[in-house]
Amino acid sequence: MPSSESSLTIISVSGPFREPREQVFSYDYSVQRSTWPTPHGVRVKISLPHELEVFKGRLLGVVTGSPGQQLMITNLLAKNLAEWKIQIAETEGFFLERRDVMLAPFVGPLAHLFLKLEGRFQAEQTVIREDVKRRVGL
């Protein structure tokens, strides 16, 4: 784990983007450490069937609503998942060196990290559910 004086800072986030030929949403992060001369880019991918839909089902069950409401729910949850994945990757040492990084879905070779993502979801589930109710009205 990096020392606090060189902790990772998120400069900006853009997304979600729909990746062509993949069932994922992605977010582009610009991250910086005080020890780096410039920020670097990290693309975080969220698997639609293996991450987003799994947690969406756990959060709300089967939800009906307008397409706009469904989109808002998806965006809220996907953004939270991307943030948690950045935090998990940081604690796992993925960003110790300065280079562009693509953080794949937590399936396949990174499946061991899914449990940590699940833990973050469990800890924040009530807050996210309240945020969905407040913003989306469901």
Query: The domain containing residue 65 runs over which residues?
Result: 4-136
> Residue 33 burial (CB < 10 Å; 0-12/13-18/19+)?
middle
Tally of domains within the chain: 1
Q: Model's pTM, two decimal places? A: 0.89
**Backbone conformation region of residue 120, classed left if phi is above 0, alpha if psi is from -120 to 50, else beta:** alpha
User: What is the residue whose two structure tokens read 């839909």?
Assistant: 53
The pLDDT tens digits along the chain (138 residues) read: 444 557 889 999 999 999 899 999 999 999 988 888 888 899 999 999 999 999 999 988 877 778 888 899 999 999 999 999 999 999 998 887 767 689 999 999 999 999 999 999 999 999 999 998 898 887
